[in-house]
Each structure stands twice: as structure tokens, then as C-alpha cells.
Structure 1
Amino acid sequence: MEPWTDIKAKLFADPVLSVKEDTVNYKGHPIHYRQGVSSTVDQVRGTLLFLHGQSFKSQTWHDLGTLHFMANAGYNAVAIDLPGYGKTESFSYGGQAPFLLGVKEALGLKDTPVIIISPSMSGGFSIPLLFSNPEAFKGYLPVAPVNTASHTHKEYSAVKIPTCIVYGENDKGLGVASFRDLSNIPNKQVHVLSGAGHAAYMNSPGEFHQILLNFSEKLFS
């Protein structure tokens, strides 16, 4: 595979690809987001919603080249700043699952099942939604998310959402713990990224993006 740095350089230099920034309103609060755009795509193949970990923000997915990469592949790739991160101010939003569902609706995706990519801290938002509103998901791609222990293995065994579990080989904490719980989801695939740590997508970007693309193509074929 071509080095990710080279792939990313080509994507960033491609004049048909760009990332737009905007906000949507959630109960009177502006939620900042970034969206990958390709001027040559008339109809997107599907939508991906990117969350982020505690040390990151939507800009992480921009800087990594993810939004360009998925837009280039024909997808609507949207990354949001969760409350208190990036350009979204901190505010009292109530439950995490209702917040995520409300933002999805504010983005014009109310009745659109999406693939939700959820690393680390953002599991506090995505895991509850997995159980309260499974219809919101086309698929789920967790990367060592928190909050998996809030549900039982029996509950996970009833989840029908196609799931792509990703974690780093060297993530002996959350990576292993979250996998132990999420592995009870029947319709799953598992990818352990060699030599990667907790933020596995940062350590092994080439492998991560190929996994993401393959999962998206399978679900939106």
C-alpha cells in the first residue's frame, strides 16, 4: 500500500476536494461540524458521522485526511465537535444519546441511517444510542470506546447493527476492555491494528482508512 502521507498529500492537492465548516442548531446552541466535499459527486453513496476522543476534535479528522478520503470515495463524511471541544462551546445538553440523535436530525439526517465512527470518549454518546435508537445506524465503527461496560454481554448479543470493531495492538486498557464487551455483538468484524496504541487511527492511518472504506462499501453497496 502507498504510504498514507503520500495518499493524504494527493487528496489535499486535489482541487475537486475540500472541507467546509459550518454549524447546526441544537436547542439554541451552535454545534460546529466539518464536512468533506467533492465537486464531482452528484449523489453520495452514504453518510458517515465522525465523533472524537477526549484529546481530539473534528479537526483531527480533517488533518488526518479522513474527510477528504471518504469524500473522494463518494461518501458524505461529517465530523462534529462535541460540547466543550473544538469550536462547540460547553453547555448542559442532557442525555448523551438524545444529544447525538438531535444533532443528527439538525444535520438533515433524521431518517438517514449512518455509519457512526466513535473513538474513546465519544463512546459515552454512541453506546447509549446503540440501544435506544438502533434505527439511527447503518453501521457502527467503534475504536476503543468508553462506556461499553454499561450494558451486559446478553444485551450486546441482541444488537443487530453491523459493527466493525477496531483497536490498537498496544491498547491494553480500553482497547481490550471494550473489545471484551463489543465482541458479543453477533454481526461484527474485528481489526487489531499492529503496533498501534489507543488512538489506533492516528498510529496506523493507512490500514484504518482501508478498513473504513471496505466497511462503508459493504454496507452501502
Structure 2
Amino acid sequence: MQLEDKFIEVKGAKIHYLEEGSGRPVVLHHGARFNAYTWKEVGTISAIAEVGYRAISIDFPGFGKSEEGNFSSLSEFIGDFIDTMKLEKPILLGASMGGEAVLGYAVDHANKLGGLILVGAVGVSSYESKLKNLDGLPILLIWGRHDTTSPKRNAELIMKYVKTAKFVNVGNQHACYLDDSEGFNSQIKDFLKGL
């Protein structure tokens, strides 16, 4: 299925996203070397739509087809995007840099979220003092077995404070969804079905 490029203005910046499915929203955030299309290419957008959710894959400001905009941080942008789109209790997925941005937003707004999927999130230790705020939120942590960019201790740090976090290994490298897209998408579908 051909996904249509969509745009929305967030704080005056034209932001690009792809969307498929209906139901509760799952917002996908890419890593530094990637963009909104990555989640289409590895089949994650359609996998999410398949299990009855609304997948929204965005280009961060200044990435892909999105304008730079005037945001103090990617975490702040995530909040602005959720508010502009009027999303109710979205589930946020973030990989690497996107995982850190999602985490930065989530530790301050856990009550506004329906769950988190963090994929090799970086920079976890800088949020350590607030990680306990996420306890009670369903969280799936997906790490490649040999991720050298974001070591497993990042996931372990989250699990130390969040009893509701579940850890799985998929593939080998940091961008583990490229190694084993099928295994990656099936973990996400199982997680979403359980919410």
C-alpha cells in the first residue's frame, strides 16, 4: 500500500509524517541516521496497523521532509506534536536518538501516555533521577544483542526503576530492526495486543 505523505504545522514548522490504520495512536520516532520512511521500509507501520492501532511515523524537525522549526529539544517537539494532533494516550516508539527524545518527554508526562517502546535508546542515564516516574507504564525495551552504541546497561537502568518494563533482544546491531525486521515487528505486535 502506498502511504501518502502528510504534513501538519507544529509551532509554525511544517512537519512530515506517514500514517496507516485506525485506533489508538502509536507514534514512531526514528534514529539519527534515519527518517519516517525507515519504519515503512522495515514493515513496522503496517504491522502496527494490522493489530488495530493507528501508526504515525514522523520526521523529526530538520530530518527527512520536516522543516527545522524552533524547538528547544526533540522531547519538547514530541509534546507539541502530540498536542497539535490531539492524540489521546499515545504509545510512543523511539529508536536510538528518537528513544532518548521519547524518554525525555515520557519521564515528565507519563500520565499522558499509553505505553513506550524503546529501541536501543541512548542517553538513558541523564534521566535516571526521573525514571521512577515511568513505573506502572507498559514499556517494551528492544535491544540488539551486540549493540555497541547503546549498551544493555541502558535497558537495565530503566528496569531497575520500572517494574512494568519488559526486555527483549532482537537482531545484533544497534539498528536491530534492520537485522531482523520480522522478529522486531512481531515483538511490537505482541506488546500492543497485550495493552
TM-score using structure 2 length: 0.91
2:20 to 24, 31, 36: 36
Map of 1:121 onto structure 2: 97
Report if the CA contact (8 A) 1:18-1:68 is conserved.
no
Take 1:57 and 1:212, find their aligned partners in 2: how far apart are those partners?
19
Tell me, what secondary structure is at the counterpart of 1:166?
Answer: strand
For structure 1, the 5+ residue unaligned runs are 1-16, 38-43
Q: What one-letter code is carried by the residue in structure 1 that aligns with 2:132?
A: S
For structure 2, the 5+ residue unaligned runs are none
Take 2:173 and 2:96, find their aligned partners in 1: how far apart are those partners?
12
Superposed counterparts of 1:1-221, under 5 Å: 17-37=1-21, 44-109=22-87, 112-152=88-128, 155-159=130-134, 160-184=136-160, 185-193=162-170, 195-219=171-195
Report if the CA contact (8 A) 1:143-1:167 is conserved.
yes
Take 1:95 and 1:137, find their aligned partners in 2: how far apart are those partners?
19
Take 2:188 and 2:99, find their aligned partners in 1: how far apart are those partners?
18
Gap change, CA 1:108 and 1:142, over 3 Å in 2 = same
Gap change, CA 1:106 and 1:191, over 3 Å in 2 = same
Root-mean-square deviation over aligned CA pairs: 1.7
Q: What one-letter code is carried by the residue in structure 2 that aligns with 1:96?
A: L
Larger gyration radius, structure 1 or structure 2: 1
Report if the CA contact (8 A) 1:19-1:67 is conserved.
no
Q: What one-letter code is carried by the residue in structure 2 that aligns with 1:66?
A: T
Report if the CA contact (8 A) 1:58-1:80 is conserved.
yes
Q: What one-letter code is carried by the residue in structure 2 that aligns with 1:186?
A: K
Report if the CA contact (8 A) 1:134-1:161 is conserved.
yes
Report if the CA contact (8 A) 2:94-2:102 is conserved.
yes
Take 1:192 and 1:157, find their aligned partners in 2: how far apart are those partners?
23
Deviations 1:115-158 (A, max 9, x none): 11110011332112112111231110101112211122x64234
Give the paired residue count. Answer: 193
Gap change, CA 1:155 and 1:29, over 3 Å in 2 = closer
The percentage of aligned residue pairs carrying the same residue is 22
TM-score using structure 1 length: 0.81
Map of 1:9 onto structure 2: none
Q: What one-letter code is carried by the residue in structure 2 that aligns with 1:35?
A: E
Q: What one-letter code is carried by the residue in structure 2 that aligns with 1:163?
A: I
Q: What one-letter code is carried by the residue in structure 2 that aligns with 1:157?
A: K
Tell me, what secondary structure is at the counterpart of 1:183?
Answer: helix
Take 1:155 and 1:132, find their aligned partners in 2: how far apart are those partners?
8
* Segments ≥4 residues shifted beyond 3 Å: none
Structure 1 residue 79: Cα displacement:
0.4
Tell me, what secondary structure is at the counterpart of 1:19?
Answer: coil
Take 1:20 and 1:175, find their aligned partners in 2: how far apart are those partners?
36
